[in-house]
Amino acid sequence: MTENNDSGPQPQHPEHPTDHHVAGSRRVKRRLMLAVVGLYVLSLAAAAVVAVRAPLGKKGAKDGDDSVLGLTSKETVGWVSIHGAIYNDGPRTWDRGAYQWARRIRLMAETKGVKAIVLDINSPGGSVGAVQELYSQIKRVRKEFNIPVVALFGDIAASGGYYIAAACDRIVAHPGSLTGSIGVIFSVDNVEGLFSKIGYKSEPIKSGQHKDIGSWSRTMTKEEREILQSIIMDAYDQFLTAISTGRNMPMEKLRPLADGRIYTGNQALEAGLVDVIGDAEDAVELAAKLGHIVGKPKVKREPDTRQMFMDLFESRAGAGVKSPIEWLTGLGVRAGLEYRWTGGL
């Protein structure tokens, strides 16, 4: 019997058309991913270059701006900006928070040649503790270094933004700056109706009757409202005391102004809440005068290039994205007492 051992080429099954399509799709996705990663790395590199080569100061109308580092002039006004909501942030070294701002104010006061400081405020306020931290630090720096501090209001310096300004020697505001909003707010969201519709129910196990006071999953009781109101009024009295002390304003004059309303710079001047209507140049000149600086002063602004870089990095990384439940319930808003103007939110 003869066995057929034909070792010639065996017939191959034809490739399915979709095989080429899948392989091609994978290659395209891989290339796109590499391109995205490459662009991301390039953007970070570009940000680093910008941060390193960024100007160390902002040129103003009468500024002789240089870096705080290497300061040699004896006739200098320091400039520190407080922009954004005021909270006690700080787990990251580049955070902007009350402790970081207080440190920057102190470092500016310690800088050789700085005889006065302009505090550039553009803030709706923030948490009670953070605002009070900045207020006390400003007063401490003024006393410890015998250095005048002038507050300059930007678009807004309301509630806690005004609170910290009251710790300064003088306040300069633009005619259209928004300020005031003297008061306290404790925001409590109630999504009980929403949860009942989706079948969600919260059953807290607590050590005391009021342990879950302010819960957003149920209606607040009358007693709880009274408790929170008493806390708010205590913090409100602290606010009034800080302004009365800092501005040397009698309580009987201050209380009618402190019902939570906002004022323009012009209205605030008329009410005695600010001292001068002017701009950055006026604030620098006033600070120079209080600091006994003769002639045209130089202005020294602390470079914040590290923050520029980290802001860009976080925007690329998608930091701070809220979950759907945070968008629905407002849980992204910080809990607690606030010296903050909510702007209708």
For the stretch 173-199, pLDDT in tens is 999 999 999 999 888 777 778 777 887
Q: Which of 211, 253, 296, 322 is catalytic?
A: 211
Q: Is 159 noted as a catalytic residue in this protein? A: yes
What confidence score (pLDDT) does residue 53 get?
Answer: 44
pLDDT of residue 342: 80
SS3 292: coil
Using alpha carbons, select from 250, 233, 125 the residue that is nearest to residue 179. 125
DSSP 15: P
pTM given for the model: 0.72
pLDDT at 4 over 70: no
User: What is d(CA 154, CA 171) in angstroms, rounded to the nearest whole number?
Assistant: 11
**DSSP letter for each residue of 316-333:** HHTTTPPPHHHHHH-TTS
Q: From the CB of residue 175, how many other CB atoms can be counted at a distance below 10 Å?
A: 13
Number of separate helices (H) and strands (E) present in the chain: 11, 11
Mean pLDDT of the chain: 78
Of 159, 177, 217, 244, the active-site residue reads: 159
E strand or H helix at 23, and its extent? Answer: helix 17-53
pLDDT, tens digit (0-9, with 9 covering 90-100), for 266-324: 999 999 999 999 999 999 999 999 999 988 889 998 755 555 555 555 444 444 444 44
CB-based contacts of 200-206 (< 8 A; 24+ apart in sequence) = none
pLDDT category at 7 given cuts 50, 70, 90 is: low
Contact 253, 272 (CB under 8 A): yes
The string of pLDDT tens digits covering residues 107-135 is 999 999 999 999 999 999 999 999 999 99
Q: Using one digit for the tens of pLDDT, what is the confidence trace for 78-98?
A: 999 999 999 986 545 455 789
DSSP states of 46-105: HHHHHHHHS-SS---TT---EESTT---SSEEEEEEEES-B----SSTT--SHHHHHHHH
In this predicted model, which residue has the larger pLDDT, 242 or 187?
Answer: 242
- If one compares 196 and 50, the residue with the highest pLDDT of the two is 196
What does the pLDDT average to over 325-335?
A: 44
**DSSP-based three-state secondary structure for 45:** helix
- Band of pLDDT at residue 263, cut at 50, 70 and 90: very high
Q: Which residue has the higher pLDDT, 21 or 61?
A: 21
Written as one letter, the residue type at 181 is: S
Q: Is residue 222 left, alpha or beta, with left meaning phi > 0 and alpha meaning psi from -120 to 50?
A: alpha
pLDDT at 295: 86
Say if residues 83 and 119 touch (Cβ distance below 8 Å): no
Q: What is the pLDDT of residue 215?
A: 78
- Residue 338 is predicted with a pLDDT of 86
- Count of C-beta atoms within a 10 Å radius of residue 78: 29
> Is 297:289 a contact under the CB 8 Å cutoff?
no
The per-residue pLDDT for range 99-108, each reduced to its tens digit, is 889 999 999 9
pLDDT, greater one: 301 or 217 = 301
**What pLDDT score was predicted for residue 159?**
96
More confident site: 287 or 52: 287
Structure-token match 């402790």, residue found: 99
Q: Evaluate if residue 69 carries a pLDDT over 70.
A: no
* pLDDT (0 to 100) of residue 40: 63
Confidence of residue 5 (pLDDT cuts 50, 70, 90): low
Give residue 209's pLDDT. Answer: 86
In this prediction, residue 327 has a pLDDT band, given cuts at 50, 70 and 90, of very low
User: Would you say residue 201 has pLDDT above 60?
Assistant: yes
Tell me the three state secondary structure of residue 138.
helix
Nearest to 155 by CA among 174, 137, 140, 133: 174
